[in-house]
């Protein structure tokens, strides 16, 4: 099984960006922990980050053409705005788990809407980097 792990804008700034909300571990650490977990669980993973909505849409399409079995996505700010990412996930029909490092349910009103949620089999929020590992497990055990 191959899993695509897709990250949206500003997640490359992890560790620097509002550490009281997103933690002090870097994006590099996130990638290492995801890779190690996928190896331990015997799945292949492709990890991607972009600050551009269209690049994320294209990566979701690529996941389809690569025969990917699951997507873990943290669309970051695009969670709350992007019909294009929702449509891309619906277009490919790949089982998807939405992840947020912070507990978006307890944050500002504008973070209460997730467009992506409608295309996800589960949402993991507020578990930091561990949430990505949970999402991988959900896809494998699904
Ligand atoms: C986030 C939450 C979003 O509201 C925010 O825009 C992000 C990160 C999270 O991982 O907690 O950039 O998706």
| Catalytic residue check, 100 | yes
Q: Which CATH architecture has domain 2-141?
A: 3-Layer(aba) Sandwich (3.40)
Q: pLDDT tens for residues 27-72?
A: 999 999 999 999 999 999 999 999 999 999 999 999 999 999 999 9
Query: What pTM was computed for the model?
Result: 0.98
19-39: b (≥16 Cβ within 10 Å) or e: eeebbebebeebbeebeebbe
Distance 57 CA to ligand 1 centre (A): 18
* Ligand 1 atom at minimal distance to the Cα of residue 22: 11
In the chain, % of residues over pLDDT 70: 100
Per-residue model confidence (pLDDT) at position 96: 98
Per-residue model confidence (pLDDT) at position 120: 98
Per-residue model confidence (pLDDT) at position 95: 98
| Catalytic residue check, 52 | no
53, 120, 127, 141 from 132: Cα distances, Å: 20, 14, 8, 14
Mean pLDDT of the chain: 98
Per-residue model confidence (pLDDT) at position 29: 98
Rg (CA), the chain: 14
């Amino acid at each position: 099984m191959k899993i695509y792990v897709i990250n949206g804008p500003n997640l490359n700034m992890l560790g620097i960006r509002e550490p009281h909300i997103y933690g002090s571990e870097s994006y590099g650490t996130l990638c290492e922990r995801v890779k190690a977990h996928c190896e331990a669980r015997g799945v292949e993973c492709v990890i991607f980050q972009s600050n551009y909505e269209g690049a994320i849409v294209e990566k979701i399409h690529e996941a389809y053409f690569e025969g990917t079995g699951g997507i873990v996505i943290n669309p970051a700010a695009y969670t709350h705005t992007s019909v294009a990412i929702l449509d891309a996930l619906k277009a490919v029909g790949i089982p998807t788990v939405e992840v947020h490092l912070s507990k978006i349910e307890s944050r500002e009103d504008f973070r209460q809407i997730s467009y992506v949620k409608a295309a996800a089999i589960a949402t993991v929020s507020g578990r930091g980097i561990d949430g990505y590992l949970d999402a991988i497990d959900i896809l494998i055990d699904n």
